[in-house]
Structure 1
Amino acid sequence: MILRSPVTGSHHSTLTNRLTKPCYRCLHARTTTSPPIPQPTPFVPDPSTFLTLIGRDLSQHSAKITTWKSLFSLTSQQLCDLGIEPARTRRYLLWWRDRFRKGLFGVGGDLKNVKDGAAELRVVEVAVPNAAIPNELSTSTGTGLMKVKKMIVNEPAEAVEKGVELANLKPVEGMKIVGARTIVGPFVKHVKGTRGSVATIKVQAGMWEVRQGIKVDGGERRKVQVRRAKLLAERKTTRK
């Protein structure tokens, strides 16, 4: 069918116009590729440990999620079918799964030397050139050429005694040194007789838990209405 434009007088085909119109559904089509399944870590070797760490009583569902693959591949609907309720709990689990895929862990997640769910932390001193570290993180050795850098590492005592190369040392995140050699951080337990320079950190329930906010006066959505109703009620009481 050929139509003439009332303005320009040119001819165009409605069929051609229909075919050349862009397909917006195709542009918005989403890929069905499943996200990758990350590798377990020494501190988080299995689904049970993962559910224990993120808290919110998700460890009670450990018997329903038995494999590492299922932990990172089950959909929200499948988790619902397994009885993981309410919906906000499933969203929380999916949120932590996504963080773990990106390498965003809670305290202790970056530890490599772990045995029976526990890791040992110790303070080591490494001599490095002056230009390698900021002044506020080290003290001068007296030579003017080298400084001593203190850091908290997750290395066995034997490796520290033999001397670990500076390039292989990685400071433990979330910990700090207070005073001369005292390790301070969440869930840290000092080893007796070490004056705080050696400590252990062990998997505990809720170590990575992000606690839910507490609703005040009905929460953010109803706060103004609830507080106004309270104010009016107080005024009526005062008038009486």
Structure 2
Amino acid sequence: MTVTLAPFTVNLVDHRFDPRWNRIPGLEVKGASLSIEPDDYFFRLESTGWRVIDWDTVTTEMLPVEESSDLALEQKALTFISDHVRTTHDPAEVLAIAWNVYSYLFREEHLPTLDVPGITAEHLRILAEVSTLTALNKVDQDGRISIVGPAWFFGDTARVVYDLDEPTVQALDEVFHGGLFNENRRIESVKAHTALGGRLVHGCQSTPSQKGGVVAAYGTPMDRFRDELAQFRDAWITAVRSF
């Protein structure tokens, strides 16, 4: 069931989104402001609540956490989320927290160890911007996809927004999946994504295929999520490519 969400604007203190995001219907970048008209932007909007934790709390209490021999990092992340998570109905707050998450995960410090030729700081900025907007996507705790925007399929969206060629999109996809394959980056990802109330779940099944991903709460059943993604993916990607 479609719900109503008022237009919203976020102003990031330390970043200005690329103005080419104006190519996406319902999204407007003007200086330091990023505004979204929900009726035009979202493909599916059936919820208006997002799970979040203040980034300052994550920075001070979760990022320094280390895994131990008797307690896995994911267990510590789950406990941390249970202790601190709250629901916000302010999508601008979600975007502000998400920018902190992804500007941290895609920071320049990682460039020497990415092992993907040709990747620059500019490419990391692209990944951070697209990923920030993916934070508005949502999978409910029963596995249903309740919110979908164009940024879900970050490869196709990045191609439209940033005029990227296919080899560059493939390289960005490899960097994105490096957060799953590289253990140090995976650990950072587990910790940082607690700010968005869960863990990053990749849409790809076995190899990188630009199906994006979503932050889902621990315990969310994945079968329904993957079935719905498979059912609607082609239509949503076609819509993105038409922009």
TM-score (structure 1 length as normaliser): 0.25
Structure with greater strand share of residues: 1
Larger RCO: 1 or 2 (CA < 8 Å, sep 6+): 2
Select the structure of larger CA radius of gyration.
Answer: 1
TM-score (structure 2 length as normaliser): 0.24
